[in-house]
Structures are given as structure tokens and as C-alpha cells.
């Protein structure tokens, strides 16, 4: 079922009120909440795949983790299922339960290793219970890129409160869209050397979809991000939009981790400004490629 156009707005208003009452700093609240949106998405896709596999599979050994991975679906262990966490009583240590759930998901999905936060011990169980209840209002039969919409809306609203020096992880949607529409990445390898939370990739995929093509068939995603926390946001952002890519942690000014020169069809970036560094070292590395 389609959701009301302002659904993410009402969801944000409720989550924002919970933050106000939590006593946490914005930076302590943002990433864990975004990760719970990711968890709800992963659980949703897992449940869909589980139903489909149960109908089609006749193997004696049953359905296993590899069956989900073959469909591009995150394998979600029972202890990490959203309903299991949502149904925990408030007297339980819900923070520990969510930390354990995130660890369990990482253990079963190599591409999520060291991506998911485990800082839920900072939250009291009442706040976590309310957040889980809130995200539980997302219907099971939603259609389209609902989770991507919600994740981006939350990301955009968290950004002004947690923005780092130079605007390092979030470029406004309007700017990203303008860059993508100028570049027109219909088909090929896309690279963002300062990818932040991955907005260029998400918008490039939307551009491809708008031209009635499947992003997974048309574009390959590569990125670099120097801040580990922001790298995690980018990987979760790709996941909730049903995308995958090769995004690595390094400083693109000094390290050519993707062997970049001549390898990409499109390069898009809104790099952080007013940064200190070693211009001579940066220039020397760039000249080495020619």
C-alpha cells in the first residue's frame, strides 16, 4: 500500500519529540535512530523473501542464509527481528538487546561488518521502546521506496543539528539533484571521492529509475569517505534504497584507494571546504597519475 505523502514528516515529528525528552545530544541520537530505520527495512525485505522462499523451496535442508544473500537480502537472525525487539518489555535492557541484534546481523552479513552502531546503551529502555513502537507503525505491505524516503528525510533533518565542520556528510537534496541532472549518469561507473552519506549515489539511481531503467543494471557505485561514522551512514543509505556499492574509508586527497585515474565514467562530488592539509602532498599524488 502507498503511504500518505507526509508520512515521513509525521514520523519525524514523533521521533524528534522523543529526542527532546531523551537527554541525549543530537550526535548520540541520530545514527542509532537511522540504524533502526535500516533494521526495519532489512526485516521487511527479509520477511518478504522468507514468504517467497517458503513457497518455492522444496529442498530437504530447508532455507538458509545463502538463499537470502542470493536475492540481495540482508539475513536477519531471529534475535534481531524487528517484532522480537519491539515486543520486549520495558523492564528488559532493550539497549543491550539492540546492540546484540546489530552484532548478530553483522556476523551473518559480511558487507555490513563494522557498519551498524552498538551505542544503544546510552538510551533508556523507555525511549527505545517508544522508537521501536513508532517505526512499527510503518505498514508491512508498503510499496515503493518508502524506507529510502524515510531515511533521507530523517538524515536531512538530523544534518543541521549534527553537521560537522565544512558540511562534511550532507549535501542538500536540491544541490545533489542539480549535479546529477547536469551530469546525466544514464549508464556506467560512478565515483564520488567525498561521498558523505551517499546522496549522489541515491539520486543517480533515482535518475536512472526515472528513465525506466533498473539502477542495478545500469550503474556501478564507488565512493570514498574519510570519516568512519559517515561511511556507516552512506552504507545504510544505499541499503535502504536497495543499492550496493564499493565504498571505502580513506582520505581521497592523499590515497588513491580505487586506482581512480581513467577508471570511471562519471565523477560527482561536493567536497568539504575550509579543510587543512598538505597541498604539496596532494598535488604530488595527482600528478603521479599522469
- Collapsing DSSP to helix, strand or coil, 188 comes out as strand
- CA 17-21-26 angle, 5° bins: 80
* 16-51: pLDDT as tens digits: 999 998 889 988 999 999 999 999 999 999 999 999
* 57-104: pLDDT as tens digits: 665 567 889 999 999 999 999 999 999 999 999 999 999 999 999 999
Contact, 173 vs 207, CB < 8 A? no
pTM > 0.95: yes or no: no
Cα gap 161→51, rounded to integer Å:
40
Say yes or no to pLDDT of 135 above 70: yes
The pLDDT value recorded for residue 258 is 63
* 178-205: pLDDT as tens digits: 999 999 999 999 999 999 999 999 999 9
Nearest partner of 42 among 205, 223, 238, 249, judged by Cα: 238
Where does residue 136 rank: exposed (0-12), middle (13-18), buried (19+ CB within 10 A)? middle
Query: Per-residue b/e over 203-231, b at no fewer than 16 CB within 10 Å?
Result: bbbbbbeeeeeebeebbbbbbbbbbeebb
Task: Sheet with 188-192: list strands edge to edge.
Answer: 246-249, 219-225, 188-192, 266-267
Q: What is the CATH number of domain 7-160?
A: 1.20.1260.30
Say yes or no to pLDDT of 3 above 90: no
At 192, list the grid cell.
564520488
- pLDDT, the chain, mean: 88
In the chain, where the domains are located: 7-160, 173-288
Contact, 160 vs 59, CB < 8 A? no
At 244, list the grid cell.
550496493
Q: For 173-288, which CATH superfamily applies?
A: Vaccinia Virus protein VP39 (3.40.50.150)
More confident residue, 170 or 123: 123
More confident residue, 213 or 289: 213
The pLDDT value recorded for residue 252 is 75
Cα gap 62→232, rounded to integer Å:
33
Amino acid at each position: 500500500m502507498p503511504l500518505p505523502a507526509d508520512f515521513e514528516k509525521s514520523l519525524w515529528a514523533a521521533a524528534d519529540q522523543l529526542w527532546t525528552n531523551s537527554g541525549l545530544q543530537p550526535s548520540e541520537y541520530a545514527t542509532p535512530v537511522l540504524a533502526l530505520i535500516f533494521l526495519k527495512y532489512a526485516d521487511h525485505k527479509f520477511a518478504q523473501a522468507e514468504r517467497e522462499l517458503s513457497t518455492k523451496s522444496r529442498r530437504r535442508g530447508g532455507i538458509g542464509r545463502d538463499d537470502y544473500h542470493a536475492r540481495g537480502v540482508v539475513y536477519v537472525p531471529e534475535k534481531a527481528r524487528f517484532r522480537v525487539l519491539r515486543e520486549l518489555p520495558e523492564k528488559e535492557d532493550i539497549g543491550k538487546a539492540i546492540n546484540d541484534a546489530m552484532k548478530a546481523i553483522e556476523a551473518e552479513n559480511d558487507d555490513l561488518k563494522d557498519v551498524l552502531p552498538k551505542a544503544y546503551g546510552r538510551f533508556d529502555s523507555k525511549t527505545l521502546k517508544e522508537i521501536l513502537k513508532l517505526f512499527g507503525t510503518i505498514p508491512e505491505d508498503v510499496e515503493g521506496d518508502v524506507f529510502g524516503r524515510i531515511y533521507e528525510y530523517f538524515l536531512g533533518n538530523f544534518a543541521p543539528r549534527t553537521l560537522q565542520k565544512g558540511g562534511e556528510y550532507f549535501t542538500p537534496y536540491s544541490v545533489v539533484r542539480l549535479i546529477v541532472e547536469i551530469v546525466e549518469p544514464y549508464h556506467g561507473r560512478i565515483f564520488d571521492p567525498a561521498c558523505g552519506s551517499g546522496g549522489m549515489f541515491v539520486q543517480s539511481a533515482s535518475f536512472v529509475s526515472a528513465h525506466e531503467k533498473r539502477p542495478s543494471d545500469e550503474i556501478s557505485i564507488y565512493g570514498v569517505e574519510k570519516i568512519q561514522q559517515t561511511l556507516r551512514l552512506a552504507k545504510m543509505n544505499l541499503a535502504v534504497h536497495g543499492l550496493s556499492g564499493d565504498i571505502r574509508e580513506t582520505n581521497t586527497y592523499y590515497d588513491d584507494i580505487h586506482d581512480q585515474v581513467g577508471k570511471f565514467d562519471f565523477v560527482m562530488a561536493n567536497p568539504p571546504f575550509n579543510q587543512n592539509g598538505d597541498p604539496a602532498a596532494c598535488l604530488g599524488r595527482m600528478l603521479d597519475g599522469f
